[in-house]
Structure 1
């Protein structure tokens, strides 16, 4: 039996712990915030729960388009205190579910902070855990257990899965009241009168879209020419159009210099001297890895200039026996990628056959309204000519089910090899793009051709029918744009 120590209880950590325990290892997982880590307790699970609420508001507001009306009122009232209480409850429940699963597999979970001991024994690794000494049970899963004596754990293999923290812009430090990080949103009891979102990457775009859908006036400050600069520009165009149609304001090519309190509101000062005022400011300017204070110098694990731990495709660091996974590695900051990195690390460490991480098969989703889902080779690689491909884009306005649902925006796009027709990528912009992308992701993963994808039955009428229709149109055309 090998002893595994996992530092960090987010998707990378808890998925790795389960795999290692199933393979017969003795596993100890150390997490300071609670099982599930920041992803479950503060980031991904809470934000998507909040966005799920905004989707209900959207459905209510758009009901007249399909012949429905309310006799009481045409407006929907968002009780933010109730919404946020539900957000926190669901996050805690998810944390408890994960803790229960780990307990069933025999994983020992400690609440505390871990770092490599200064005096390493040599053949194994020594990890000191402060504020811990007792195993966390299911009831304690969602919060830190403090006050326990420090203890030392020896392990044959260590996985670093410590995640990241919201980046703080100097001169715009969050105060938890008016200037907020995305982890502080859930303390609000009333909707902002005017929310200024600084940063137009995935996190900024998601919150700007979600609060706009809930009826909040939102100003999105973007340092780029387009929101979501890393996404297909055609998809970003749809998001911008819907956002502005809902009453949102876009300020492009504008970098925030500072954010300060101004009476009962905030003032965002831009680098060019302009100012934007609102009731609250939400800072979405990226994240930084949680790699400080881990005692990495005691074992020889180095970080890059940004603090990320460098790993190979099976999650190994340069130190044998030490692996890293998740946001602390800077490899595609997605929960699904973190989980796969963690699993791959344990398979490799415990001698199982393992396929190295294939980033070209990763599916990702932006939870805006509508959603943007992508997989495989993307727009930039194809349009630049770096990857030869045939492509087709089918607007959802021609899809029968979309018409029934009153959907007018969105599309399905597929890329395939020019000669073989093998599907190498695609994107979907739709209200349930995160679900619809799966068939394209399977095609990319398995190397299916457009002929094979087109031959797959889909329900009629369905939005997914546009996926097979796109594949059918790619079957017989040598050059489609």
Structure 2
């Protein structure tokens, strides 16, 4: 029986474990925190659960009057018409952690049912290969076990490294878990921050800034770049920044945070230009660092990038024979879906199954702000730089009848297609639940569908997806005119 050892139980690790076990391999997963990893325990699942509460509040606050909903509550402040509901953050966070643990337990049960073995501890790769090409992993068990600190040696025909990443820190803004926080620590808060300073305007910073503003905190978003979400579609980022400002958020562009310190019951954040901002709490969201140190990787022949990420090819192989890697520790795309695909591809490849190499242009991604921003395929930056020759049409949701019914004012649908063939090569959706609306565009990109085929596919009337069909029709009309 083929022996597989997986170090790390996040999406890359547990999905690989399920595939390998189903294909008959002897699978052991070594994990220190609980299956699901940061994605389930401290990142995707918790943050999106928190955002779900914020989304309900935002939708109600922004549309109840227009939709004709009457609010009769003697506790409501008539001088604050925009705030008709409140939040108990402690209760919200307890629900967040409960759901995260439940999801982790479900994943563990799935892996063990499939025949996998789960060890709670940390794995280290030994440098040498055995005569038969096997690898050895030393497991140091977690301290809360009866045999905490004890070790076990595992022999594997293949090893998958899926250890994820942890929050990057600013040297002069060390989290204390109470007033200065990273994105793992926010779920321990019992009371809503009165004024939250969010340092970092990438995906994580923007998501938390929007969520806490919706929950009722005064929020200052500190961005070192010209705009929020500098890595996203510029039109989408502009819509979101406009929404943030309209909802009362203080967005500070071109403002790099140099330090944060706790002073009594508040936090002072000092910017690089000497300005100081004061708030009740500070959330530092300035990226992530791969968990690749003290694992014996380089000694075992695993090549690391300057950033500490593991180099991999398109079938998840590292530079060391018999060692694969998946997930955030590879620095490919920090997405749970990509990690899971990398893990599955690794197992399919090693176990001799048919495998399709990782195709990043078919990856759909979503920013869970309000409105959401979903993307797939080639981007506006690719078109503007000349990396992809494509036509583009953008249609505001204001023209969509379902959006009018629901009181949706912000957002759009954008499609990119090749001039000659009309093949759809990318798309952007900015809308409530854009993560659901991007799927038909993802199917078109992945299957090389043309704008004509998308345009001639029925959509429900009225629906937000109708705008996807309308954009495709506009591009198809342009192509037809060019061909004529």
Q: TM-score by structure 2 length?
A: 0.95
1:99 aligns with 2:115: no
1:338 aligns with 2:339: yes
Query: How big is the shift at 1:44?
Result: 0.9
- Aligned equivalent of 1:152: 153
1:25 aligns with 2:34: no
Alignment RMSD (CA, Å): 1.4
- Aligned equivalent of 1:59: 59
- Aligned equivalent of 1:129: 139
Equivalent residue in structure 1 for 2:91, among 82, 87, 104: 82
1:465 aligns with 2:466: yes
Query: How big is the shift at 1:353?
Result: 1.1
- Aligned equivalent of 2:283: 282
Between stretches 55-64 and 39-48, larger displacement belongs to 55-64
How far apart in 2 are the matches of 1:17 and 1:258?
A: 42
How far apart in 2 are the matches of 1:152 and 1:146?
A: 18
Deviation track 1:30-83 (CA, whole Å, cap 9, x = no partner) reads 100001111111111100100001011112212112111211136211000000
- Aligned equivalent of 2:435: 434
1:107-126 matches, within 5 Å, as: 107-117=116-126, 120-122=129-131, 123-126=133-136
Contact 1:375 / 1:425 at 8 angstroms: preserved in 2? Answer: yes
Contact 1:132 / 1:151 at 8 angstroms: preserved in 2? Answer: no
1:289-328 matches, within 5 Å, as: 289-328=290-329
Deviation track 1:284-331 (CA, whole Å, cap 9, x = no partner) reads 000000000111134111211111100000000011110001000000
Contact 1:111 / 1:146 at 8 angstroms: preserved in 2? Answer: no
How far apart in 1 are the matches of 2:177 and 2:70?
A: 39
Q: 1:69 to 1:106 in 2, by over 3 A?
A: same
Query: How big is the shift at 1:145?
Result: 4.8
Contact 1:394 / 1:466 at 8 angstroms: preserved in 2? Answer: yes
How far apart in 2 are the matches of 1:98 and 1:351?
A: 25
Contact 1:131 / 1:146 at 8 angstroms: preserved in 2? Answer: no
1:419-458 matches, within 5 Å, as: 419-458=420-459
1:94-243 matches, within 5 Å, as: 94-117=103-126, 120-122=129-131, 123-131=133-141, 145=145, 147-148=147-148, 149-243=150-244
Deviation track 1:101-132 (CA, whole Å, cap 9, x = no partner) reads 11111010111001013565342111111116
- For structure 2, the 5+ residue unaligned runs are 77-82
Between stretches 93-102 and 121-130, larger displacement belongs to 121-130
Query: How big is the shift at 1:395?
Result: 0.3
Between stretches 46-55 and 59-68, larger displacement belongs to 59-68
Query: How big is the shift at 1:385?
Result: 2.5
How far apart in 2 are the matches of 1:401 and 1:319?
A: 54
Q: 1:91 to 1:462 in 2, by over 3 A?
A: same
Contact 1:41 / 1:88 at 8 angstroms: preserved in 2? Answer: yes
How far apart in 2 are the matches of 1:42 and 1:129?
A: 23
Contact 2:128 / 2:300 at 8 angstroms: preserved in 1? Answer: no
Secondary structure of 1:472's counterpart equals: helix
- Aligned equivalent of 1:382: 383
Secondary structure of 1:276's counterpart equals: strand
Contact 2:298 / 2:304 at 8 angstroms: preserved in 1? Answer: no
Contact 1:221 / 1:250 at 8 angstroms: preserved in 2? Answer: yes
Q: 1:146 to 1:381 in 2, by over 3 A?
A: farther
Deviation track 1:184-215 (CA, whole Å, cap 9, x = no partner) reads 00000000010000000000000001111112
How far apart in 2 are the matches of 1:409 and 1:280?
A: 30
- Aligned equivalent of 2:14: 14
How far apart in 2 are the matches of 1:229 and 1:205?
A: 11
Contact 1:414 / 1:427 at 8 angstroms: preserved in 2? Answer: yes
Secondary structure of 2:344's counterpart equals: helix
How far apart in 1 are the matches of 2:472 and 2:180?
A: 47
How far apart in 2 are the matches of 1:333 and 1:276?
A: 30
Contact 1:112 / 1:146 at 8 angstroms: preserved in 2? Answer: no
Secondary structure of 1:65's counterpart equals: coil
Contact 2:162 / 2:327 at 8 angstroms: preserved in 1? Answer: yes
How far apart in 2 are the matches of 1:57 and 1:380?
A: 34
Query: How big is the shift at 1:21?
Result: 0.7
